[in-house]
């Protein structure tokens, strides 16, 4: 940690003797913000020290980004020159914070005086020195406290040394000296740090992804926003509170893709929603088949009445028919023959999509237009955005855009859809994305899942990256779901919903839909290319299980936190054991998942009872929340069996058997 630059060489005041190092939390030395949610307290720590044995003091200075002045809280010494303190995060905004440290002259004097006096030495000189320190502080006091200083100094001089020592080391002098202490020799940590304080739904939410055009009942015809309103009770019953739509904008007709991504669309094929733009408009318009803005507003209001919100997909690309291609061809990649280049991910070709060129000389107008689009939808009641392929656009653009939007609307949430290289994924999170996709989708074994979750929730990434776990997406049907059937669907959604505090599924998951394109992690007959009508009561569905699972999440605060995950030893390689606890152990959840969807397994698992505030010698209860069964346990290690066809997972609420509400005697 570099020290604040001061022109001290030419000053009559010597430089501060104090060093401040290793301030935490900090992302890349303070280059990027850390993330928290409203209601949290940010704990800040640092190594703070100086030469010799003189005392020092330190405070955390903090302010909301729109506050003119600083507030401060005291830091306390922990051990080995490590200091810590915390301050409340009460608003959905950004806070700035730093550490100020300074010599504690009065504290050093008190320590030396006590040692000498207790050793029976004469302390007349020390008392004169102490009186001078107190009078110096008195010069900063208000009128009332000046009088209190006078009274105390008079009392200190009215008796023998024992009397003087008692007064000057007393609590009342200590309170006044703390209030008016000198900060001569201060130093600040630099740079100032930032914490983004999001609303709680940034950390705790359940997402349901769907194509709104597939919400209807008429085959071969687009559903409307009004049809989606009819689906809200079903989605709410399953416990989801964020309803995420793939793009709802007009779809181009040029090079439109047909069923199963065929190159030539047939009459009636609706096209891919990611081929944005037609004669009906671009990113600030609606696909006509979905309805009008009045219909959209009705949907937003109907969702809000159920404590649900609409999330929109932001796909920064255009069909050949997008108005931008005529109004701003300079925003695109131009071939030597003057035509606009379509998107490619060799060997894949996307002839119906034009990527945007962020390196063009008119980049400022492009950036401003994209900001306008986001704010346009914010104005229509949308506060959550899932961003498609953000890793194919400059990271600095996202840092700018998210900062600009949240400066006006700090409640806006951005989810980064970036299945890409780890460092790129992490850079996007640092740049400002509220939530991030992750590799959870492909972690199928106990050891790799454990290692990855420890990395996400216990390592440096926890300060800036909230992983939103999706077991499937409209683009990805993992092999584990293709092969593992219903048991895999149950185990994977349980893992997603309990390992992370924010997760989501793509519609059809509740039906265990898993027909793939042979040899690929893609859905056959995907609704990316056609209208769908779903039978939501199809036999074999797990809708009720998901409802119970989300109900457990809502009922247990431990599952609503992100970085309180801990793994427990279990003896079988296919059964993963983990849990979450609230800080005061008032709510404790233990989860067992059989990660093998084909065979039943049994395991011994061990709980950290002392950390959980339980006496290993006393009984405690484990209530299995899916079945409602209650077991009385003693000791740390227990046996459990998980059968993929009957109970692939188990979720326990742990509590003392002798809770207060069970402590009354029975007669």
* Number of Cβ atoms within 10 Å of the Cβ of 662: 11
Nearest CA to 562 among 654, 443, 651, 436? Answer: 436
Q: Long-range contacts made by residues 404-407, C-beta under 8 angstroms, separation at least 24? A: 404/371, 405/371, 405/374, 405/375, 405/378, 406/94, 406/196, 406/432
- Buried b / exposed e over 192-217, threshold 16 CB at 10 Å, is ebbbbbbbebbbbbbbbbbbbbbbbe
For the chain, what percentages of helix, strand and coil (3-state, to nearest 5) are there? 35, 25, 40
CA 167, CA 120: separation in Å to the nearest integer? 18
Name the catalytic one among 104, 126, 417, 655: 417
Q: Are 365 and 329 in contact (CB under 8 A)?
A: no
Is 388 an active-site residue?
yes
The distance of Cα 218 from the centroid of its chain, to the nearest Å, equals 39
Q: Tell me the two tokens of residue 69.
A: 């002045």
Residue with token string 């030469």: 51
* Backbone phi and psi for residue 187, each to the nearest 5 degrees, phi listed first: -150, 145
Question: CA–CA distance from 6 to each of 18, 62, 184 (Å)?
Answer: 14, 21, 14
CA 167, CA 149: separation in Å to the nearest integer? 11
Is 269 an active-site residue?
no
Nearest CA to 495 among 477, 469, 475? Answer: 469
- Buried b / exposed e over 243-262, threshold 16 CB at 10 Å, is bbbbbbbbbbebbbbbeeee
Q: Are 145 and 176 in contact (CB under 8 A)?
A: yes
Measured in Å, how far apart are the chain's first and last C-alpha atoms?
A: 66
* Number of Cβ atoms within 10 Å of the Cβ of 410: 17
* Number of Cβ atoms within 10 Å of the Cβ of 119: 8
CA 293, CA 295: separation in Å to the nearest integer? 5
Q: Are 197 and 266 in contact (CB under 8 A)?
A: no
Name the catalytic one among 104, 227, 313, 388: 388
CA 50, CA 17: separation in Å to the nearest integer? 6
- DSSP letters spanning 267-331: TT----TTSB-BTTBSTTS--GGG--HHHHHHHHHHHHHTT-EEEEEE--EE-TTSHHHHH-GGG
Give the contacts of 520 (CB within 8 A, at least 6 positions apart).
none
Q: Are 197 and 95 in contact (CB under 8 A)?
A: yes
Q: Is 357 helix (H, G, I), strand (E, B) or coil?
A: coil
Residues forming the active site: 388, 417
């Amino acid at each position: 940690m570099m020290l604040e630059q001061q022109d001290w060489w030419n000053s009559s005041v010597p430089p501060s003797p104090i060093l401040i190092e290793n301030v935490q939390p900090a992302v890349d030395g303070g280059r990027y913000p850390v993330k928290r949610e409203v209601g949290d307290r940010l704990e800040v720590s640092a190594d703070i020290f100086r030469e010799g044995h003189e005392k020092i003091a330190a405070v955390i200075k903090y302010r909301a980004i729109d506050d003119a002045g600083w507030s401060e809280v005291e830091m306390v010494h922990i051990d080995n020159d490590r200091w810590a303190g915390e301050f409340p995060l009460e608003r959905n905004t950004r806070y700035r914070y730093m550490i100020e440290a300074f010599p504690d002259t009065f504290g050093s004097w008190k320590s030396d005086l006590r040692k000498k006096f207790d050793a029976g030495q004469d302390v007349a000189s020390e008392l004169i020195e102490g009186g001078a320190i107190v009078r110096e502080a008195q010069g900063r006091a208000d009128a009332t406290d000046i009088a209190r200083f006078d009274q105390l100094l008079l009392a200190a001089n009215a008796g023998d040394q024992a009397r003087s020592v008692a007064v000057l080391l007393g609590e009342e002098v200590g309170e006044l000296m703390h209030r008016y202490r000198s900060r001569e020799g201060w130093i600040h940590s630099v740079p100032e740090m930032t914490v983004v304080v999001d609303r709680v739904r940034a950390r705790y939410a359940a997402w349901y992804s769907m194509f709104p055009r597939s919400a209807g009942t008429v085959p071969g015809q687009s559903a409307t926003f009004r049809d989606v309103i009819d689906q809200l009770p079903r989605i709410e019953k399953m416990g989801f509170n964020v309803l995420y739509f793939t793009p709802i904008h007009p779809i181009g007709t040029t090079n439109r893709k047909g069923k199963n991504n065929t190159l030539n669309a047939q009459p009636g094929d609706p096209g891919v929603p990611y081929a944005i733009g037609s004669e009906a408009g671009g990113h600030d318009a609606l696909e006509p088949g979905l309805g009008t803005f009045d219909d959209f507003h009705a949907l937003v209001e109907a969702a809000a009445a159920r404590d649900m919100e609409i999330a929109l997909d932001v796909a920064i690309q255009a069909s050949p028919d997008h108005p931008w291609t005529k109004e701003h061809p300079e925003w695109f990649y131009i071939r030597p023959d003057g035509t606009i280049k379509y998107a490619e991910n060799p060997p894949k070709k996307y002839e119906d999509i034009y990527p945007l060129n962020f390196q063009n000389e008119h980049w400022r107008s492009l950036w401003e237009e994209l900001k306008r689009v986001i704010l346009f939808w914010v104005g229509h009641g949308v506060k959550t955005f899932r961003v498609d392929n953000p890793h194919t656009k400059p990271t600095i653009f996202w840092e700018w855009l998210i900062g600009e939007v949240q400066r006006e609307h700090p409640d806006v949430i951005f989810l980064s859809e970036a299945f890409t290289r780890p460092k790129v994924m992490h850079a996007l999170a640092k740049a400002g994305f509220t939530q991030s996709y992750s590799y959870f989708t492909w972690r199928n074994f106990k050891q790799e899942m454990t290692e990855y979750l420890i990395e996400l929730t216990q390592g440096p990434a926890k300060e800036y990256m909230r992983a939103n776990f999706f077991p499937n997406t409209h683009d990805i049907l993992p092999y584990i779901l293709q092969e593992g059937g219903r048991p895999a669907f149950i185990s994977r959604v349980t893992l997603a919903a309990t390992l992370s505090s924010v997760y989501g599924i793509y519609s059809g998951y509740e039906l265990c839909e898993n027909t793939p394109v042979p040899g690929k992690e893609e859905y056959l007959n995907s609704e990316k290319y056609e209208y769908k009508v779903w039978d939501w009561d199809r036999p074999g569905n797990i809708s009720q299980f998901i409802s119970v699972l989300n109900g457990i999440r809502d009922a247990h605060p431990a599952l609503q936190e992100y970085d309180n995950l801990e793994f427990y030893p279990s003896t079988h390689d296919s059964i993963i054991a983990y849990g979450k606890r609230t800080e005061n152990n008032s709510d404790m959840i233990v989860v067992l998942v059989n990660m093998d969807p084909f065979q039943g397994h049994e395991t011994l698992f061990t709980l950290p009872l002392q950390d959980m505030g339980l006496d290993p010698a006393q009984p405690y209860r484990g209530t299995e929340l899916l079945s409602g069964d209650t077991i009385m346990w003693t000791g740390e290690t227990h046996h459990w069996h998980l059968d993929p066809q009957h109970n692939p997972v188990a979720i326990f609420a742990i509590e003392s058997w002798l809770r207060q509400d069970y402590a009354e005697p029975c007669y």
